[in-house]
Amino acid sequence: MRLVVFTAVFLSLDLSAAEPNPIGFPKVEDPKGGIGAFRIWHEDGKWHLRTSTENSEGKKEKLLIFTGSVRCDGKLTVDAKSLEKAGKVKDTIQPTADGRGFDFDFRTYGATDEAIFKVPDSAKTLTFKLKVDGENVPPIRILIGAKGERPEKSEFKLPANPKTKK
């Protein structure tokens, strides 16, 4: 009898955590857990990955180095927004040779840097690996979608073509 009860309870549990809904700009202001944040969202058929240091006010203008990668199971196109390309602070986006992702190095200093990318309709999954100053970023500093949801780790997956929830 115990086996039957255990099996019924076990099968009724959803062991997979619900993945964050990436639709819409994250409206959460300060993510807590240190200065700097990643904001990731999908809007109007495009993905956005933005880094910011706006919650570093009054902290002697700390330069944060946001690095990481985005990989897709289909080819994607990526463009930059607000990247510095000269002087001491140079930001880079490097598409992969196979066109299925990009690596980034954003040296964010009292501002924001952003990658905007599109994936094909046939793509199923995006994989993100995010770091700040060479360390895996704490999930509390990652805001996804309009609700500012967080992944469980600094390496996570999202649906490449999320559906708008009605």
- Alpha carbon 109 to chain centroid, angstroms: 19
Strands 142-144 and 112-118 turn out to be unpaired
Topology at the third CATH level for domain 21-159: Immunoglobulin-like (2.60.40)
Under the banding of pLDDT at 50, 70 and 90, the label for residue 121 is: very high
Report pLDDT for 2: 47
pLDDT digits (tens, 9 = 90+) for 123-133: 999 999 999 99
Q: Are 145 and 24 in contact (CB under 8 A)?
A: yes
CB atoms within 10 A of CB 45: 9
Which three-class secondary structure state does DSSP give residue 56?
helix
Tell me the H-state helices in 1-128: 2-12
Residues 6+ apart with CB under 8 A from 58: none
- The encoded tokens of residue 133 equal 């100053």
Selection from 9, 117, 27, 32 nearest residue 72 by Cα: 117
Tell me the H-state helices in the chain: 2-12
Selection from 42, 43, 63 nearest residue 51 by Cα: 63
Q: What percent of the chain has pLDDT over 70?
A: 76
pLDDT digits (tens, 9 = 90+) for 128-153: 999 999 999 999 999 999 999 999 99
Q: What percent of the chain has pLDDT over 90?
A: 58
With a cut of 60, say whether residue 8 has pLDDT above it: no
pLDDT digits (tens, 9 = 90+) for 36-76: 889 999 999 999 999 988 654 555 567 889 999 999 999 99
pLDDT digits (tens, 9 = 90+) for 88-99: 668 999 999 999
pLDDT digits (tens, 9 = 90+) for 14-33: 344 578 999 999 987 666 55
Q: Are 152 and 135 in contact (CB under 8 A)?
A: no
Which three-class secondary structure state does DSSP give residue 67?
strand
